Structure formats: C-alpha cells, structure tokens
Amino acid sequence: MNTYTVRPGDTLSKIAKKYATDWRTLYAANKEVVGSDPNLIRPGMVLALPGAPASPGGGTSPPPAQTGKNLRDMVSAAVSAAYEPQKAELKSAWQEQAERIESDSRAAQTRYDAARGELLAQRETDIARLLADAENAQLARGGGYNSWLHQQAQTRESDLMRAYERALADRQGDLHTRLADNAGLKELYAKQLADRIAALDAQQQAEYARMLLELEYDEYAARQALENEMKLIAYRNSFK
C-alpha cells in the first residue's frame, strides 16, 4: 500500500480528493495514526492510501519540487511573453519605415529617368531646329557658305548643349541628394531600433533577475516554514 506524508494545510478531504477516494475510507485506513478526531491531522503524519496506484518506489511521494532549471525556464518564458511582443512591434514599425524609404528612393529614380529622357529628347529637337534655322539663314543669303553664319550656328549649338548638360547635372544632383538623405534616414532609424531593442533587453534581463529572486525567496521561505513546523511538532511530541 502506498503512503502520503501530511503537509501543513492538508485535511483528509483534500488528500482523499487528490487520490480519488473519500475521507471516510482514508480515515478508516488510518484511524490508529490519526486518532479519534478525523479533523485533527498533523504535518509529518504518514498515511496509508487505500486503492492508490503504486509508485515505482513502493510509496506515494509528494510531487517533485520545481528544479532550479525549470524555475529559470518558467521565469524566462513569463518575461519573454511580456517583452518579445514589444520587440516584434518595434521591428515591424522599422520595417515599414524602411519600405517607405526604399519606395521613395525608387520613385525618385523613376522621376529622374523620366526627366532625363525628356531633356535628351528636347535637346535633340532644339538642335535640329537650330540647324534648320542656320540652313534657312544661309539659303536666305543666297545658299553659299558663310563663315559668320556657320560660326554663329556652332556657338548656339555649343551653348544649347551646355545648357542641357547643366539641366541634366542639376537633376542628377537632386537624385543623389535624395538617395543620400534616404540612406541616412534609414541608417538613423536602424540605430534607433537597435538602441530601443537594447533598452528592452536590459529591462527584460532586470525583470528576469527580479522575478527569479522573488520566486527563489518564496520557495526558500516555504521550505523554512515547513521545517519550523516540523521542529515544533517534534518538540511538542517530545513532551508526550
């Protein structure tokens, strides 16, 4: 037959319920140990458990105490449940910011490509018009070669080319500035994310240490209370 060692706060009803029996059957099996009053059981009493399933050691032991590793795992899981969602939310917000920045950079590149294409097309149109005007001017003067008109046409063409080169350079500069600003902004957001994650990690570690210390102290206090109760019972029994 298996046994159970009474703990502080136990009653026959509680023990019987735990081992799927009733208090009367339990009391009947332990009347000599308990005495005439079934409501008076003391910590340290060893009770027989009629009908309880056998344990490998031939007795029924109390549930194993929480080991230090399991206690740490339990605290770690509780703290992670509180802090990991915050970290995930921060990372999600950063990802959204990064995607917006990348989208803006792609849009800036697209606008530059379109503007460059328009400028190059307009340049070709203007050069063609300039050459046509120069040819018409020569025809108006009789169609012969005129060095002055030719020089004037070359000068206008060179001025036109430089003007378009400046316009293209301005737009390219605007693009590079926008891309550099976006890269700097993305780097700033990444640093802010890393700083906030590091702060949460520090808080999580501090909370883990605090909770673990409290639980370890509660476990120690419970053991001390039980030991003191057993000493008191032993002391009282020494006078009987």
Q: Are both 105 and 223 inside the same structural domain?
A: yes
Q: Are both 53 and 109 inside the same structural domain?
A: no
Q: Are both 11 and 57 inside the same structural domain?
A: yes
Per-residue pLDDT tens for 178-212? Answer: 999 999 999 999 999 999 999 998 988 888 888 77
Q: Are both 49 and 91 inside the same structural domain?
A: no
The CATH number of the domain where 42 resides is what? 3.10.350.10
Is 187 domain-assigned? Answer: yes
Is 239 domain-assigned? Answer: no
Prediction pTM value: 0.53
- Round to whole Å and give the CA distance between 49 and 37: 18
Domain that residue 77 falls in: 68-230
pLDDT at 13 over 60: yes
Q: Are both 10 and 123 inside the same structural domain?
A: no
Q: Are both 181 and 223 inside the same structural domain?
A: yes
Per-residue pLDDT tens for 102-145? Answer: 999 999 999 999 999 999 999 899 888 888 887 777 777 766 66
CB-CB contact of 86 with 200 (8 Å): yes
Q: Are both 78 and 179 inside the same structural domain?
A: yes
